Amino acid sequence: MSWRTVPLQRVARLESGFGFPREYQGDENQEFPFFRVSDMNITGNEVLMENHSNTVSSATLKALGARTFPAGTVIFPKIGAAIATEKKRILTKPSTYDNNVMGAVPKVGTNPKFLYYWFLQLKLSDQANPGHVPSIRKSVMEEIPFPVVAPSEQLRIVELLDQADRLRRLRREADAKAARILPALFLKMFGDPATNPMRWAQASLGEFGVKARYGLGQPPKQCTSGLPLLRATNIDAGRIIEKNLIFVDKEDVPPGRNAFLSSEEVLVVRSGAYTGDVAQVTDKWAGSVAGYDLVITPAAGWSGEFIEQFLLTPFVQRTYFDSQKGRAGQPHLNSTQLEATPSYCPPESLQNTFAKQVREVRSLRDQCIEHAERLEQVFAVLLQSAFSGQLTAKWRERHMKELLAEMAQQARLLNLPMPEELRALP
């Protein structure tokens, strides 16, 4: 038996949010949470919207012409680059949200968690209007086909996916703990650069002999193979990743640009939202080409591992990187600023000890990342199986009589034609 589908609006009510003027923001002590897209990034809000930065009272809702939406509503970004993040979340209590967010309020017979998992396998980017500022229309979302699944089978699918999702959550928690190892080790061995408790010699990076230069900038013609061109999208909190990796031919790299990378050098994102994100060039990426970002070459007696973690400390990020403003108020670094960053210089032997431990941690981290990617692939297969009917096929055979009765009730509720297998039912 294959599932029938109906337009999404038959099983859920699509609702856009409301304007949220600045003067109403910042109050955390009122009755109703008022969510913005950024709240989906708060730790603890990976699935359920438990935490919030803004609340409003009933009086404020009335003044704004807004209303609340019930627990179980599935929310997602509907405007701008945030759509591409593919975030979907579930409200846990009556709440409202701003006009950059859209929600799907499940109707009677639709399990909120089933609706949420269905949204996970829906690519929001495919539903957005193309253009300079992408957006999602309510009318488009309302017509997306949604499977009509009996409530008991919805619940069974949710139970199976919850078990798999729990493993993903535990994996994320372990990864978050692992990510704190290197910063903690750095502070233990060298002390906070804000206070320099170990009294290391202090000067700017440039005065210590550390050099900064620019990458290639505008890339030459791309090719399907050749040298990797490392850009901001490939730099992620202390590691280089292959996301959206592009290649260039060595012969196309202009001579004299010194864009080729050596092991131990450090890449620094120089502008935009991720200014100051840093990653060391490991042996795997030696010989690659630096894109638009800055490249740091360690001085004699310095390790790339030390420089990478030093630049990632909150003190450096907050005090020196975040304060550099360029065009349109966006953070923007240049080589002079980078070389002028105040630093301290621990002994070479201590830096080498730290570098060895960093390499060991990175090896374990890479294994964890590989396992996490496999887990994500398994979960993606489960989602596909769940909404193709394969995940619960055997369970469905054992419960067919009850399912047929539930499906008949659903057909009446949704005013659908009764399928052949249901017409004999009372």
Residue among 384, 422, 7 at smallest CA distance from 161: 384
**φ, ψ dihedrals at 194, nearest 5°:** -70, -30
Tokens of residue 134, six digits: 């992408």
- DSSP 3-state assignment of 176? helix
> E-assigned strands of 378-425?
none
- Whole-number pLDDT of residue 426: 46
Q: Residue 321 carries which DSSP code? A: I
- Whole-number pLDDT of residue 218: 79
**φ, ψ dihedrals at 234, nearest 5°:** -100, 0
- Whole-number pLDDT of residue 425: 47
DSSP string across 287-314: T-EE-SSEEEEPPTT--HHHHHHHHTSH
Partner residues linked to 95 by β-bridges: 69
- Whole-number pLDDT of residue 329: 53
DSSP string across 324-382: -B-GGG-BB--HHHHHTSEEEE--HHHHHHHHHHHHHHHHHHHHHHHHHHHHHHHHHHH
CA distances from 333 to 32, 204, 273, 343, 393 (A): 41, 15, 12, 17, 57
Q: Are strands 246-248 and 266-268 parallel, antiparallel or unpaired?
A: unpaired
pLDDT beneath 50: ranges in the chain = 327-328, 424-426
- Whole-number pLDDT of residue 397: 84
CA distances from 113 to 22, 66, 74, 195, 222 (A): 33, 25, 9, 49, 44
- Whole-number pLDDT of residue 325: 55
Rounded CA-CA distance 22/5 in Å is 42
Q: Does residue 104 contact residue 73 with C-beta atoms inside 8 Å?
A: yes
Q: Does residue 64 contact residue 128 with C-beta atoms inside 8 Å?
A: no
Rounded CA-CA distance 366/363 in Å is 5
CA distances from 1 to 11, 149, 384, 404 (A): 21, 11, 17, 10
Rounded CA-CA distance 279/276 in Å is 10
Q: Does residue 124 contact residue 46 with C-beta atoms inside 8 Å?
A: no
Compute the Cα dihedral for 248, 249, 254, 256 and give only its sign: positive
Angle at 131 between CA 126 and CA 137, to 5 degrees: 55
383, burial (CB in 10 Å: exposed 0-12, middle 13-18, buried 19+): buried
Rounded CA-CA distance 140/123 in Å is 13
